[in-house]
Structure 1
């Protein structure tokens, strides 16, 4: 706690870095002590080639997280936050070729659920790519095309992704400007990390595990989001009935930036209701 403000871990999305939080409204930094953590290979964060699955990424983030905090994850960052709220490792599981996690680290990681007071999941999806029983997601063909474009034209693909995040928002041009300005202050993500992150978005499916998460959870969706349909909320209410789902009118994939004060008010009201 810092001056009676709860600590809020911030996990950005794919291709982003901690510069995106420069555009947060003052209402959020006034209510919380912010603890931003960059995803592996993004911004100044290191990346190791064997970090290929979601527990690997959750481990990397947990190593930088405080012992007690509320966690806010945006898009891919929300997947990592969900994984951190589950047991991310079992004793003796390899963490790299020929490596074992030290016993103390394994113990710390297995205590991850107790380190997370609550979850705020912003424009997230437990399965980002469509399946026969999960249509509220990106079509696989669209995602595969995006993956191929990243290999051929990484800079152009990242620029396109930024535009997709604000498409449909009431304040798309200004939100895009703030996104670009923040990201330009830090190093570009490492290509290998970008590809690994896309693989996580394409392959991970946490639907069956949502019911195992015990922390209070708030899912925030954007009414006009073209990447994560707001209709995901209907599925979350069935898979995770203890969670709250709310949709912000007029917002796209970046409601914290385009509708920051409203998002902050909803987060604050949720935490006042659910945390002692």
Structure 2
């Protein structure tokens, strides 16, 4: 995905007095791929460089889906730079593990294999998966497609490496090290981040705040922008 998918929600935030900046992760949108391949650490370093270059004061850092892994790593390393952390439809460990709900390994492996055979068709399936479960799935999918069309074609290597990040990343043991105020926002109907895992993250990060939107799926800022906004406003009070 690219940052254009956040443009309507960013406008809504700006109308409410938030100062908003949008970042493409490396290899997505207008951001160049990382020379050494996509990793959480590499993406976090790239985001940190941008924050240091463009901001003079601490900020709220928001990450969606895989971006939540990156935002969490930046917040862990750059406590003076990140005053608040927000993760949307994200998980410290996306792939299913023993005693940990997540995406089945064969599903992620299947997407990785399918990218090699039919890149465009697999990308379409992945876009549809973002909205699966939402009552406005058709409209949400259309908005995501429109956002994708406003930027460069996704880098194929970055997409493959992004899937590998989802397969391998596991931040569960790091969550206790996060002193930053942290809002975790979920959609109960999310097909990628099962609601059954939310309480497990509650236990790993008891100081964080979790909000569950009962009718949202994996893109709550698209399907339920007002409810997402309300959660952010409450978090910043």
* TM-score of the two chains, using structure 2 as the length reference: 0.94
Question: What SS does structure 2 have at the residue aligned with 1:252?
Answer: coil
Aligned match for 2:8, one of 6, 23, 27:
23
CA contact (8 A) 1:25 1:260 kept: no
Give me the CA root mean square deviation.
1.3
Q: Report the counterpart of residue 70 of structure 1 in structure 2.
A: 60
| Higher Cα radius of gyration | 1
Unaligned runs of 5+ in 1: 1-15, 88-111
**Greater than 2 Å deviation, 4+ residue runs:** none
What is the number of residues matched between the two proteins? 232
Aligned match for 2:188, one of 191, 215, 223:
223
Higher mean alpha-carbon deviation, 62-71 vs 124-133, is at 62-71
Q: How far did 1:197 drift?
A: 1.1
Q: Report the counterpart of residue 225 of structure 2 in structure 1.
A: 260
Q: Please give the alpha-carbon distance, in whole angstroms, between the structure 1 residues aligned to 2:67 and 2:223.
A: 18
Q: Please give the alpha-carbon distance, in whole angstroms, between the structure 1 residues aligned to 2:37 and 2:181.
A: 28
What do residues 72-91 of structure 1 show as CA deviations (whole Å, max 9, x unaligned)? Answer: 1000000000111123xxxx
Q: Please give the alpha-carbon distance, in whole angstroms, between the structure 1 residues aligned to 2:155 and 2:231.
A: 34
Q: Please give the alpha-carbon distance, in whole angstroms, between the structure 2 residues aligned to 1:210 and 1:49.
A: 28
CA contact (8 A) 2:132 2:191 kept: yes
Q: How far did 1:25 drift?
A: 6.9
Q: How far did 1:199 drift?
A: 1.1
What do residues 10-50 of structure 1 show as CA deviations (whole Å, max 9, x unaligned)? Answer: xxxxxx00110123274322231111110001011011331
Q: Report the counterpart of residue 36 of structure 1 in structure 2.
A: 22
The alignment status of 1:60 with 2:46, answered yes or no, reads: yes
Aligned match for 2:70, one of 76, 80, 93:
80
Question: What SS does structure 1 have at the residue aligned with 2:46?
Answer: helix
Aligned match for 2:98, one of 132, 140, 163:
132
Q: Which protein is richer in strand relative to its size? A: 1
Aligned match for 1:51, one of 37, 44, 47:
37
Q: Please give the alpha-carbon distance, in whole angstroms, between the structure 2 residues aligned to 1:115 and 1:46.
A: 23
Unaligned runs of 5+ in 2: none
